[in-house]
Structure 1
Amino acid sequence: DGSLVRAALGDIARARGMSQLARDTGLAREGLYKALSPEGNPEFATVMKVIKALGLKLGAPAAQV
């Protein structure tokens, strides 16, 4: 669920510091707060910038059949 990913990223971002995240991503701090808020709907590119700046990885392993 995309809203769970957004919420988790928002929690991590606030815990680590939104100002530093804004500098690391090149995005505006206010824009990050809005995108990662419960009402936010961030673009995939924004999500990927946040993931990279937080030192996280996003993966999609193949399903076992």
Structure 2
Amino acid sequence: MTTIKIAPFDAAEYLDSEEAIAEYLSAALEEDDPALFLAALSDVAKARGMTKMAKDAGLGRESLYKALAPGAKPRYDTVLKLARAAGVKLTVEPAHA
């Protein structure tokens, strides 16, 4: 019997452009799950580099880790700063019934 080895999936490895990041975060937002969106934002921060992301967002590195920790409820302005630091902006569009 052949054993198949599977490496753990790390989305951060594929988030190599602002377009990919925008698509990834948009897909996470469509799920209506704040924890999923924060996990996706955490993947983006890993892809960009936590130190760089914190600096670009005007946050301390420790504050960034706390804001993206499972169960965290970061402030709206923190989420906006992180989106800008990721090179994306959040937009609103009409919901289709």
The answer to whether the superposition gives a TM-score over 0.5 is: yes
Question: Superposition pairs for residues 19-30 of structure 1, below 5 Å?
Answer: 19-30=51-62
- Cα drift, residue 40 of structure 1: 1.6
Distance in 2 between residues matched to 1:27 and 1:35, nearest whole Å: 10
Distance in 1 between residues matched to 2:73 and 2:44, nearest whole Å: 17
CA RMSD between the two structures: 1.2
TM-score by length of 1: 0.88
Instruction: List structure 1 segments (4+ residues) > 3 angstroms apart after TM superposition.
Output: none
Q: Is the 8 A contact 2:35 2:71 kept in 1?
A: no
- Give ranges in structure 2 of 5+ residues lacking alignment: 1-32
Whether 1:34 and 2:34 are equivalent positions in the alignment is: no
TM-score by length of 2: 0.62
- Cα drift, residue 37 of structure 1: 1.2
Whether 1:11 and 2:43 are equivalent positions in the alignment is: yes
Greater RCO (CA < 8 Å, at least 6 residues apart): 1
% identical aligned pairs? 49
The residue identity in structure 2 corresponding to 1:37 is A
The residue identity in structure 1 corresponding to 2:88 is L
